[in-house]
Amino acid sequence: MAPSKKKHACSQPCVIPGGFTELPLQFSSDSSAQHRLYVKEHRVRAERSSHRPLDRTLFVLNVPPYCSEGVVKELFSQFGSVQSVELRDHPGSSQESGPKLSKVFKPAAKQGFKVGYVVFQDSSSLKEAKSHPHDEPLVVCTEQRPVRTGVQKWIQQYQQSFIQPDTLQQMVDSFMVEYDKRKEEVAERQRKEAEQQEEEDEGWVKVTRGPKGTKARPHSEAANKRALQKEIKKKKRKELMNFYTWQHRNTQKEHIAELRKKFEEDKQRIALLRAQRKFRPY
């Protein structure tokens, strides 16, 4: 009875501190050395991405260099249908800024251990992968799925590096179409921002009807700051207009006073000329 209990204990999954489950990995069936993968359910609440659903994504650590995305997909397909596999040098968000580049235009991938995100079609597949027995290693290279290493891998990579001119032209054309589309979107956004800024400078506010069912946004600190700056700018503009009005009114007063002064001087000059007249006809 003792051996059966020991065998039953070894068939249980191995869970290490941190919530990771240890999965043994073996390159081939006749290989004596084993590798360890550490898997855990992906639970990053801050990442709101549809590419990595929280209930169907498995986070994998310590992926060896000879395991490509296709190999990882085949390894985890025994637990259920795999939707997608993503291998990265470091854990991070799946959102990439800029246009999506083809593998031809991307820099060469770093050779080394990677982290992976395996997305299953069903959440039960994720639970089955986490409950995989510790004494049943995952085999990488089989007769149905041969994996090349060493010189054979280098030769295969060298042969795959050559691309047909037609295929390359299609990649370039699709990239340029996407680039032009993004450029037009940026230009349209800049034009709208310029119009909005011009309306704010003139003191006009453009009111438009939003989409049906949208809720009003709460006042944030940034929105309050922008409103305060707008009020300060409007107050300064009003003070400047009042200053110009006062200056114009003051100039008019000075002009009237100068005209009155000249009128009085002319009256005195006329009176003096009349007093100095020598010819008196009567």
Give per-residue pLDDT as tens, 54-112.
Answer: 888 899 998 988 888 888 998 899 898 999 998 888 887 665 555 566 666 666 667 78
Distance CA 58, CA 37 (A): 12
Asked if 137 and 34 count as a contact pair (C-beta separation under 8 A), the reply is: yes
pLDDT value at 8 more than 50: no
Give the pLDDT of residue 127.
87
Distance CA 178, CA 186 (A): 12
**Cα angle value 48/52/110 (rounded, 5°):** 110
DSSP helix/strand/coil, 1: coil
* pTM of the predicted model as reported, rounded to 2 decimal places: 0.53
Instruction: Indicate the average pLDDT of the chain.
Output: 78
What pLDDT band is residue 4 in, cutting at 50, 70 and 90?
Answer: very low
Neighbours of 23 (CB within 10 A): 24
Give the pLDDT of residue 45.
65
Which residue(s) pair with 22 in the sheet?
A: 14, 38
What pLDDT band is residue 132 in, cutting at 50, 70 and 90?
Answer: confident
Asked if 58 and 41 count as a contact pair (C-beta separation under 8 A), the reply is: yes
Asked if 52 and 42 count as a contact pair (C-beta separation under 8 A), the reply is: yes
**What stretches of the chain show up as alpha helix (H) in DSSP?**
2-10, 69-76, 123-130, 150-160, 165-202, 221-275
Query: What values do phi and psi take at 176, rounded to 5?
Result: -70, -35
- Residues of the chain by 3-state class (helix, strand, coil), percent to 5: 45, 15, 40
